[in-house]
């Protein structure tokens, strides 16, 4: 089973070292960034399961970083870890989209429990029902194999772990391959809502899938301006 990947964005090296040490001991895979600018670069390099970030940091503060990440992915869990303990600071964090907020000095055991709660909640979110005779658990998409229950995309010896939403969207696109699919229909069926915010998220997820599927030239995701998308696969 793949280790949970955590991005820790913290400019205090002593605190960062302590937190990373305890998370490593618990089996988490932790990457550390020392400020908000570096944090965004690290976020763009890999798929993370959780982000822990400070608020007051040089170059780019945590609020700004969280807003930029939320614009790319509304669903990735974000936990703020800050010495700012006023109600207005916490309210601002939650309005941006924080999943939790802990104050310094950090109690590491409490932090670990909060992380476990966030990840457990993330796993228990409702998913699109899997499998029937017309919708197998393993789906061949060009040269790729989508293992939907385990959310893995395989091509040759290369395996990529997908998020729940990525796996659901890819399976949905394959169901409607080679047809024009309206944006509103995708959002209603996969997200359960077609509001503007989730529409922006859809574009981000489509860009990710294009990147994941780039090794097979017979697969293409076309953006039909003002209408929707076409998922083209040469069967």
Instruction: State the Cα angle at 135 between 177 and 201, rounded to 5°.
Output: 55
Is a pLDDT exceeding 70 seen at residue 209? yes
**Domain extents for the chain?**
5-123, 138-233
What are the pLDDT digits (tens) for 95-119?
888 889 999 998 999 999 999 988 8
* Cα 155 off chain centre by: 21
Q: Using the predicted structure, report yes or no on whether residue 64 has a pLDDT greater than 90.
A: yes
Confidence of residue 149 (pLDDT cuts 50, 70, 90): confident
Residue 88 has pLDDT above 70, yes or no: yes
**What's the chain's average pLDDT?**
87
The upper half-sphere exposure of residue 216, i.e. CA atoms within 13 Å in the direction of its Cβ, equals: 23
- The band of 129, judged by pLDDT with boundaries at 50, 70 and 90, is very low
- Give the 3-state secondary structure of residue 120: helix
CATH hierarchy code of domain 138-233: 1.10.10.10
Tell me the backbone φ, ψ of residue 32, rounded to 5 degrees.
Answer: -110, 135
| Percent over 90 (pLDDT), the chain | 55
How would you classify residue 131: left for phi > 0, otherwise alpha for psi between -120 and 50, otherwise beta?
Answer: left
Name the pLDDT band for 164 (thresholds 50, 70, 90). confident
Residues 39-49, mean pLDDT to the nearest whole number = 89
CATH C-level class of 5-123: alpha beta
Tell me the pLDDT band of 2, cut-offs 50, 70 and 90.
Answer: confident
- Calpha distance 101→99 (Å, rounded): 7
Q: pLDDT at position 194, please?
A: 62
Q: What is the pLDDT of residue 126?
A: 43
Query: DSSP string spanning 62-107?
Result: HHHHHHHHHHH-SSS-EEEEES--SHHHHHHHHHHT-SEEEESSP-
């Amino acid at each position: 089973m793949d280790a949970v990947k955590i991005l820790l964005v913290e400019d205090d090296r002593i605190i960062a070292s302590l937190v990373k040490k305890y998370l490593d001991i618990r089996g988490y895979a932790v990457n550390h960034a020392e400020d908000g600018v570096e944090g965004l670069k690290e976020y763009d390099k890999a798929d993370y399961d959780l982000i822990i970030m400070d608020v007051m940091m040089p170059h780019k503060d945590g609020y700004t970083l969280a807003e930029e990440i939320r614009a790319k992915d509304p669903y990735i869990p974000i936990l703020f870890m800050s010495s700012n303990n006023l109600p207005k600071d916490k309210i601002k964090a939650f309005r941006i989209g924080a999943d939790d907020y802990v104050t310094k000095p950090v109690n590491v055991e409490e932090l670990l429990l909060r992380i476990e709660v966030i990840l457990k909640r993330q796993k228990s979110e409702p998913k699109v029902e899997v499998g029937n005779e017309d919708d197998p658990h393993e789906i061949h998409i060009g040269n790729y194999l989508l293992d939907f229950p385990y959310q893995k995309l395989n091509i040759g010896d290369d395996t990529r772990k997908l998020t729940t939403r990525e796996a659901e969207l890819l399976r949905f696109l394959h169901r409607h391959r080679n047809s024009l699919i309206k944006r509103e229909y995708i959002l209603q069926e996969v997200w359960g809502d077609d509001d503007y915010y989730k529409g922006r998220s859809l574009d981000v997820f489509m860009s990710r899938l294009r990147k994941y599927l780039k090794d097979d030239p017979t697969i293409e995701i076309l953006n039909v301006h003002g209408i929707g998308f076409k998922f083209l696969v040469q069967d």
